[in-house]
Amino acid sequence: MNERRLKQALEGLPVTEMVYFPRTGSTNDEAAILLAAGAPDFTLVVADEQTAGRGRMGRRWITAPGAALAFTLVLRPWGHSAATNYAGLGALAVCSTLQKDYGLKAQIKWPNDVLLAGRKVAGVLVETQWTGDNLQAVLVGIGLNVGLQSVPDPADLAYPAACMEAFMPQPPEPEIILRQILNHLIDWRARLGSPEFLAAWQEYLAWKGQWVSVLGENGSEIHKGVIQGLDADGALLLQDAAGETITVRTGDISLRLETPAGL
């Protein structure tokens, strides 16, 4: 990826400001600096190589040069929408690109990972800025594995990973994929929190009807149950062994091998 091709690919999109880094630690950190300086809505930070990227639960996300997408979008919220919906917004934009533009069957591992054939191909990290109870700004960071070189050694992974190139003969240039993701994000943003938005998020939801564990930040199990779907704010709904509904707002999910009798 280079800055000239990137600017050409983004022509016509409502990007108010674009900052490109050949190499940086974290696009979310760079976007936070711009936000503190008053960055307007739809400011975009892109890096060809990211050395200290991060995901949820303190995980690392490294972006190899020329092999992947790493970018963060500064959004100034319109009206009222739960902050949790922004993780769904990023994941929906990626899933829509993979499925509608490339015919790849994508799923969302709640709340923010995108899977191809059960392996993680993209992650979304959402960070928010508040004034009291008012959501002032959202940073939507997205990392997408494009080429084979973007997939780390399996020994370094907490969850199996994949890339687009493993599922198609020749993936397009990352700049083209970025434009497509932003187009879908713009489309879904106009419907953020709507019944249509929620229905699409649920349609892509991985492991619906399956028994899962929800892990806390220290890796211990805090909930377990069968995935039923999402509530209006994007929280995960589980049915436990007693038939009760559990609403999960934070945590990391994993499939369980055993299923209690009656579920």
DSSP string for 74-106: EE---S---TTHHHHHHHHHHHHIIIIIH---E
Are 130 and 42 contained in the same domain? yes
Higher local confidence (pLDDT), 152 or 93: 93
Q: Which of 186, 203, 220 lies at the terminal end of a domain, its last residue?
A: 203
Q: What CATH code is carried by the domain that includes residue 237?
A: 2.30.30.100
Q: Please check the confidence at residue 56 and state whether its pLDDT lies above 70.
A: no
Q: Please check the confidence at residue 153 and state whether its pLDDT lies above 70.
A: no
Q: Do residues 214 and 238 lie in contact, with contact meaning Cβ atoms separated by under 8 Å? A: yes
Per-residue b or e along 190-206, where b marks 16 or more CB atoms closer than 10 Å to that residue's CB: eebbeeebbebbbebbb
DSSP run (H or E) holding 254: strand 252-255
Are 50 and 134 contained in the same domain? yes
Residue 262 domain-assigned (yes or no)? no
CA 205 to chain centre: 13
Are 17 and 143 contained in the same domain? yes
Averaged pLDDT, 33-48: 97
Look up the domain containing 42 and give its range: 3-203
Q: E strands within 132-179?
A: 134-145
Q: How many other CB atoms sit within 10 Å of the CB of residue 185? A: 22
pLDDT tens string 161-215: 899 999 998 878 899 999 999 999 999 999 998 999 999 999 999 999 999 999 9
Are 80 and 177 contained in the same domain? yes
Q: How many other CB atoms sit within 10 Å of the CB of residue 91? A: 30
Averaged pLDDT, 132-144: 93
Q: Please check the confidence at residue 92 and state whether its pLDDT lies above 90.
A: yes
Are 199 and 153 contained in the same domain? yes
* pLDDT tier, 61 (very low <50, low <70, confident <90, very high otherwise): low
pTM over 0.75: yes
Residue 66 domain-assigned (yes or no)? yes
Q: What CATH code is carried by the domain that includes residue 12?
A: 3.30.930.10
Q: Do residues 124 and 96 lie in contact, with contact meaning Cβ atoms separated by under 8 Å? A: no
Residue 261 domain-assigned (yes or no)? no
Are 122 and 173 contained in the same domain? yes
Q: How many other CB atoms sit within 10 Å of the CB of residue 14? A: 9
Are 27 and 95 contained in the same domain? yes
Give the pLDDT confidence score for residue 154 in this predicted structure.
60
Q: Please check the confidence at residue 62 and state whether its pLDDT lies above 70.
A: no
Give the pLDDT confidence score for residue 254 in this predicted structure.
87
Q: Do residues 60 and 126 lie in contact, with contact meaning Cβ atoms separated by under 8 Å? A: no
Are 107 and 217 contained in the same domain? no
Instruction: Indicate the number of domains in the chain.
Output: 2
DSSP run (H or E) holding 246: strand 245-248
Q: Please check the confidence at residue 134 and state whether its pLDDT lies above 80.
A: yes
Are 162 and 32 contained in the same domain? yes
DSSP run (H or E) holding 184: helix 174-189
